[in-house]
Structure 1
Amino acid sequence: MKLPSTTERVSSHSSESSNLRIQKEMERRLSYYLDHPQEIAGRLHDLNREWDIERTLETNASVLALLGVSLTATVDRKFLVVPAIVTGFLLQHALQGWCPPVPILRRLGVRTQSEIELERYALKALRGDFVHVCQPEQAQDRQDRVPTVLHALVQ
């Protein structure tokens, strides 16, 4: 069994519509910051606080596992099945990049760390932090800068 790479495992197991919606939303935000460069620092601060899908899944799994153990200790041993199922799903996610909550979280717009980092570096490039990554004046139209920056970052 070949395991997917860490950076691609969630997106490769997400629906095309969820991946596309997340991509289009990021492009929409980047287009906004082309006209509002003074707000880029605030957006970068927000990105530092954004939870990625890994952190969200780990937190949810921990809460459910602790709840199952607590119910096992106080109510009935049958509740031990909850942490067993949750940790099994967490292992499946660690290996394959998929578990039952992933499609729901992706539809809600929860992004991978790679997707968050792509937006972070695109914003920095738009702000001019990485002159060697992309020369904004090379783009013919201001709207051409977003795909140009994204393409340069993905290369």
Structure 2
Amino acid sequence: MSAMIASMMNKPSSSAKRVERNTDEEINARIERETLISLSLASREGPTGIDRRLKELDHEWDMERVLEANASTMVLLTLTLGLTASRKFLGLTLLVGGFLLQHAIQGWCPPIPVLRRLGVRTAHEIEIERTALRILRGDFATTENAQVAHRQAKW
């Protein structure tokens, strides 16, 4: 089962893997190890542990959401400061917008290495764990269900 889960982690579409491609391999490996440990712990707890972990994953913020929330907060803050305190803060507004555009085009921007070191995962990494938990729970016991899971995960 572990080999199957590990192989799933290496088959996303190219756009789904932009952040991982632009992240240090050591950090990617640590995130993958933490995912495998989480799967192991949930599996040992049985169906209750798996259900608990699936609920936790429903509330986990992925990289895109974290970046969007941080960027919009910074834009609002620096825009407010630029209009009320000093126009120099408007330069920071432009900088944050540039970082967000850079991320949209390249899949990387300066905050990503920090966020990845903090353990922020991509939506794809979260979905891999979710699908692996569902496999462990037996959700895809039939071939038809396994094909549905494969399409959902976009491998």
Q: TM-score range by the shorter chain?
A: 0.7 to 0.9
Stretches of 4+ aligned residues off by more than 3 angstroms:
none
What is the distance in 1 between the residues matched to 2:154 and 2:132? 10
The residue aligned with 2:85 is 75
Task: Describe the superposition over 1:103-124 as per-residue Cα deviations: whole angstroms up to 9, x where unpaired.
Answer: 0100111000000000001000
> Size of the alignment, in residue pairs?
133
- Structure 1 residue runs of 5 or longer lacking an equivalent are 134-152
Structure-1 residue corresponding to 2:108: 98
Q: Which secondary structure state, in structure 2, belongs to the residue aligned with residue 43 of structure 1?
A: helix
Q: In terms of mean alpha carbon deviation, does 32-41 or 116-125 score higher?
A: 32-41
Aligned residues: percent identity? 50
Where relative contact order (Cα < 8 A, 6+ residues apart) is larger, the structure is 2
1:17 and 2:2 are equivalent in the alignment: no
Aligned partner of 2:128 among 101, 118, 140: 118
Structure 2 unaligned segments of length 5 or more: list them: 1-12, 144-152
Task: Give the deviation of 1:6 after TM superposition.
Answer: 2.2
Pair member with larger Rg:
1
Would the aligned equivalents of 2:43 and 2:50 in 1 still touch at CA under 8 Å?
Answer: no
Q: Equivalences for 1:1-155 in 2 at 5 Å? A: 5-37=14-46, 38-132=48-142
TM-score by length of 1: 0.81
Give the superposed CA RMSD. 1.7
Matches of 1:154 and 1:86, distance apart in 2: 31
Q: How far 1:39 moved relative to its partner?
A: 1.3
